[in-house]
């Protein structure tokens, strides 16, 4: 779970390295699980100096906005009009055309720049998604039903009708509830699934659904950011994990680095999103 939070922190830190005349804003929307906003602030401050130096911008020229609410993210992007945003992939797809979002950098974790969503159940309880019809599905990614329907399930089922959805902010809690029989299935991201392998519960569950690859959430520029400043952000991100001050942080959270966007992944999910 740490690797997920680190993506948000790292990207937010990187976006604090701009040189606008007035403090520009970056909106950070971390809706996948619970995050302590008080813990995010010192992490951001710790890395600002390094990234400002890498990007060649003055210090303290950036104002950040943080939310862990999916709906608040939608509201804030319209109200605050940030220059950069770090949303979930579903929020990016929803806001892309209206707000002119452009992917500028993407994290890579364990040499992967993509995510896979899996649904797990107790061994022998359910054999497939059809068997889960009308059953309780829990997880930290259930708030964005449109994303689940169009991207994760490729428009083959409507999760709000197929399952009884029980959203949660704490993945370990949902897994305990699965073990206790309080929920029937849990949907997991790749990082959550890998973390599960270290628990005793891993021996008691099995995967009955696995999505296609989708891009890991990245850093996105809005039309308010100039091309020159956007390029400097990209360059700073690309250098961060190999810099003397950034290397230890990246190693701690399992991030290989920030790399150019994999356009093939984005084209695929954007086509699915627009599919009638």
CA gap 148, 153 in Å, rounded: 6
Q: Which of 126, 144, 164, 47 is nearest to 87 (CA)?
A: 144
Q: Is 227 contained in some domain? A: yes
Q: Is 274 contained in some domain? A: no
Q: Is 273 contained in some domain? A: no
Q: Identify the pLDDT of residue 212.
A: 95
Of 19 and 175, the structure prediction assigns the larger pLDDT to 175
Collect all residues with Cβ–Cβ distance below 8 Å to 38 and sequence separation of at least 6. none
Q: Is 271 contained in some domain? A: no
Number of domains in the chain: 2
CATH number at residue 148: 3.40.190.10
CB atoms within 10 A of CB 219: 28
Q: Which of 59, 27, 54 is nearest to 237 (CA)?
A: 54
Residues 104 and 164 occupy one common structural domain = no
pTM of the model: 0.86
The residue behind tokens 């029937």 is: 184
Write the pLDDT tens digit of every residue in 24-69.
777 878 777 656 666 656 665 566 567 777 888 787 777 777 887 8
Residues 101 and 221 occupy one common structural domain = yes
Show the beta-strand stretches assigned E in 14-61.
24-29
Write the pLDDT tens digit of every residue in 124-170.
999 999 999 999 999 999 999 999 999 999 999 999 999 999 999 88
Q: Which residue range forms the structural domain that includes residue 201?
A: 117-212
Distances (CA, A) of 193 to 91, 129, 230: 22, 18, 33
Q: Which of 86, 221, 93 is nearest to 148 (CA)?
A: 93
Residues 222 and 185 occupy one common structural domain = no
Residues 122 and 153 occupy one common structural domain = yes
Residues 106 and 24 occupy one common structural domain = yes
Q: Identify the pLDDT of residue 224.
A: 86
Residues 95 and 225 occupy one common structural domain = yes
CA atoms within 13 A on the CB side of 122: 13
Q: With 0-12 CB in 10 A as exposed, 13-18 as middle and 19+ as buried, what is 5? A: buried
């Amino acid at each position: 779970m740490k690797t997920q939070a680190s993506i948000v922190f790292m990207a937010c830190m990187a976006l604090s390295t701009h040189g606008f005349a007035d403090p520009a804003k970056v909106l950070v929307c971390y809706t996948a699980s619970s995050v302590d906003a008080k813990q995010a602030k010192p992490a951001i401050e710790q890395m600002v100096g390094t990234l400002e130096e890498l990007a060649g911008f003055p210090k303290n020229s950036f104002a950040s906005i943080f939310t862990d609410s999916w709906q608040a993210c939608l509201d804030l992007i319209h109200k605050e009009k940030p220059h950069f945003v770090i949303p979930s992939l579903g929020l990016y797809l929803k806001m892309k055309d209206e707000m002119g979002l452009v992917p500028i950098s993407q994290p890579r974790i364990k040499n992967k720049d993509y995510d896979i969503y899996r649904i797990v159940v107790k061994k022998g309880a359910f054999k497939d998604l059809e068997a889960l019809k009308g059953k309780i599905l829990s997880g930290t990614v259930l708030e964005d039903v449109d994303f689940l329907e169009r991207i994760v399930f490729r428009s083959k089922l409507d999760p709000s009708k197929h399952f009884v959805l029980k959203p949660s902010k704490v993945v370990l809690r949902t897994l305990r509830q699965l073990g206790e029989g309080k929920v029937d299935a849990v949907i997991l991201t790749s990082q959550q699934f890998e973390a599960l392998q270290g628990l005793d519960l891993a021996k008691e569950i099995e995967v009955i659904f696995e999505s296609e690859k989708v891009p890991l959430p990245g850093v996105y520029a809005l039309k308010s950011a100039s091309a020159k400043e956007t390029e400097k952000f990209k360059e700073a991100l690309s250098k961060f994990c190999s810099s003397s001050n950034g290397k230890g942080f990246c190693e701690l959270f399992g991030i290989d680095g920030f790399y150019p966007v994999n356009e093939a992944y984005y084209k695929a999910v954007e086509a699915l999103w627009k599919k009638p």
